[in-house]
Structure 1
Amino acid sequence: MALNPRESAEYIVKNVKHVKIHYNNIEKLAQTVYKKIKEKIISVDNFSQHELHPSDKDIHAIDWIFLIDTLNFCFWTPGNDTKWKVNGQTGYFALCAAINRAIKEGVDITNPKFYSKISEEELDKILRSDDGIIKVPLLEARVNCLREVGLKLIEKYDGKFENCIKLCNNSAQKLLKLIVDEFPCFRDEAIYCGKQVSFYKRAQILIGDIWSCFRGKNYGEFNDIETITMFADYRVPQVLVHFGTLEYTEELLNFLKTDKLLNAGDEREQEIRGASIYIVEELKKNVWKLFEENGENIEKNIVNSILLDHFLWDYRRKNAKELEFIPFHKVLGIYY
């Protein structure tokens, strides 16, 4: 049985060889985050305020979120290849734009009965780029993921992911376990220093997106949402390096600058991801401490690693040019 993401991060950090953590800079970043929470710049409302996201009033919101996070992986292309773009958007938001376009065109894309039998040609058309030439990375893998989750939903959950949520009695951890047990394409695990560790990026972001969309109410009401960690990907570490909370050894930094691919499960990959989770957990604790030191009530279910991840990920997008000199680790795979 794998350690959960938090336990995995702690275990990895105790054994790291290729990265360093700077606690004083985590404390400095916590000051910045605390102010932005007070100013409502960091807020759960930011999810539904994005034009490409559904609102909690949308009857298909759960189906849309589940579909998106089934496909939410690996949007970068090796070398200097042109980026995959949809309606001018790149990466995750290009995926959102493509799915929304398909819905407007009358494609029943959020229905498991449709995507459990989807062909590569059909998904290729749905995810077609603006120029009609550049294809989304790992198209075949995306088809396989859709078929896998669609069949399971039909066979066991009456074709509705909301039935999975209802079974978990408002527990994010129970839902996390259900997701990784029932849908293998979400089972983001590896072996590090002899132990089975987990990161569960897509499974946790699925829970985080439901919580964010419904603002912690209705389907998004989880009594343990603060136990969900950040979503260990390849972009947030850039921001953590930028803020001085994460540092790569010279050897690792030089390797990343070569733009070479890492194999999934590589020790260096796991250390970057594990350290990222650990840093954001420490950041969260420091923010909680600032609220307490200022005599303010801290709603730990509101100030959580989901919001901190949103802040860091958005910061990278808004400051992409400034951060581009910091290399990111590259892995072709379905987990992030």
Structure 2
Amino acid sequence: MLTPKETGEYISNLSKSVSIEEEGVESLSLKLYDELKDGSISVSNFLKCDDVHPVGMLEEKAINWIFVVDTLNFCFWAAKNDSWWEITHEGNKYSGYFGLCAAINKAIKGGIDMTDSKVYSQLELKDLEEILQGDDSSVKLQLMKERLDSLHQVGNVLLEKYEGSFVNCIKNSKNSAQSLLNTVVSEFSCFRDESIYKGKKVSFYKRAQILVSDIWGFCQGKGLGEFHDIDTITMFADYRVPQVLVHFGVLKYSPELYKLLKSEVLLESGCEEELEIRGCSIEAVERVKNRVLQLLEKSKSESNNILCNSILIDNYLWEYRRHKTDELEHIPYHKVVSIYY
């Protein structure tokens, strides 16, 4: 099985529908270099949204909250002209990932402790549908049964092997991001984001990697979130970050693929086009990261202690898309019904 990093390099070398443009890599690298130097990109800003993230929770409870959220963190897209799933909590309206966070918080406030594996491993479908009920009852999240199955699966494994807490998985990893990643994908099959591309087994591990990264970000790289090899985590290959990489000229789609995506065709999970988009995204961000590190090394005297890794680059690109929705609207993104992203 190729690791996500190896997968990105392998697929990008053989890809026919997606290419990486070195001019775009250089341009984005220079932009990120400037953003890093002025402090706009840092671990302290990683997925910053304190009104839905677990601020003030005890550390173990907060980490189990993160684990549950990342277990359910997939498939939020809406087809063209369809309404987006949105939820209001404490006077604020949220959608997508942040909507999921708000829904979990709303459930906890209502007496359903979604950080307790004994609770979510025994939920029924109607319970989860109520927890994830949006403002418009006619708009439902996709894959509700698969979401429930994922909760049951991870909850039962935690109860059977880890005394009910994901914290024990972290402790067993001995401060290694890769060790924790391997635990997650081997113990919890709903995180096992793997496929076959041109005869080789490839892996992306989008949700598993973002889980490790969320622990790191929440703990600010200290305590349970201290991983000596955190920089080995790649970007999180989803459907939105590739859209931003196209915007910045880092990725280029073939005319045939661009036309296909523009037509709103639903891609089959594991198809060649999907794997090339995801794989090339990983390799593209690796190249950007390496170039930024070169720039930081050259200006070492004025950029001491500036941290740059693929996690922070991915977060910047993901947030950029959120804040520049209208600017990126004309660029199509691939749509796949999948539990992996």
TM-score by length of structure 1 reads: 0.97
Whether 2:332 is the aligned partner of 1:333: answer no
Farther off after superposition, 47-56 or 31-40: 47-56
Letter of the 1:174 counterpart: S
CA apart distance, 1:43: 1.3
Shift of residue 131 of structure 1?
2.1
Query: 302-311 or 244-253: which moved more?
Result: 302-311
Partner AA of 1:206 in structure 2:
L
Deviates more, 1:129-138 or 1:147-156: 129-138
Q: Work out the percentage of aligned pairs sharing the same amino acid.
A: 52
- For 1:109, what is the secondary structure of its paired residue? coil
Contact 1:180 1:186 (C-alpha < 8 Å) held by counterparts: yes
- CA 1:131–1:49: 2 relative to 1, 3 Å: same
Q: Which one of the candidate residues 245, 249, 262 is aligned to 1:240? A: 245
| Corresponding position: 1:180 with 2:185 | yes
Compute the displacement of 1:55 (Å). 3.3
Instruction: Give the deviation of 1:295 after TM superposition.
Output: 2.4
Name which of 314, 317, 323 aligns with 1:309. 314
Change (3 A) 1:146 1:298: farther
Q: Is the 1:216–1:222 contact (alpha carbons within 8 Å) kept by the matching residues of 2?
A: yes
The answer (yes or no) to whether the contact 1:5–1:277 under 8 Å persists in 2 is: yes
Is the partner of 1:45 in helix, strand or coil?
helix
Rounded to whole Å, the distance in 1 between the matches of 2:138 and 2:13 is 46
Task: Give the match for residue 278 of structure 2.
Answer: 273
Query: Hey, what's the Cα distance between the residues in 2 that align with 1:8 and 1:295?
Result: 31
Q: Does 1:157 align with 2:158?
A: no
Q: CA deviation at 1:218?
A: 0.7
Aligned to 1:55: 55
The residue matched to 2:65 in structure 1 has which SS? helix
CA distance in structure 2 between the aligned counterparts of 1:170 and 1:244, rounded to whole angstroms: 36
What CA deviation, in whole Å up to 9, does each residue of 1:298-324 have, x standing for no partner? 658x31111111000000000011101
SS at match of 2:201: strand
Taking structure 1 as reference, are residues 275 and 48 closer, same or farther at Cα in structure 2, changes over 3 Å only? closer
What is the aligned residue count? 334
TM-score, normalised by the number of residues in structure 2 = 0.95
2:77 equivalent to 1:76: yes
What residue is the counterpart of 1:11 in the other structure?
10
Structure 1 equivalent of residue 41 of structure 2:
42
Q: Which runs of 5+ in 1 are unaligned?
A: none
Unpaired segments ≥5 residues, structure 2? none
Determine the structure 2 residue equivalent to 1:110.
115
Post-superposition shift, 1:58?
Answer: 3.3
Counterpart residue identity of residue 71, structure 1: L
Bigger mean CA offset, 76-85 vs 45-54: 45-54
Give yes or no for contact 2:46–2:312 (8 Å, CA) kept in 1. no
Deviation at 1:137, TM superposition (A): 1.4
Over the aligned positions, Cα root-mean-square deviation in angstroms equals 1.3
Most deviating of 31-40 and 210-219: 31-40
Q: CA deviation at 1:176?
A: 0.5
Structure 1 residue 48, shift from structure 2 partner:
6.9
Structure-2 separation of matches of 1:55 and 1:48: 13
| Shift in CA distance, 280/215, structure 1 to aligned 2, threshold 3 Å | same
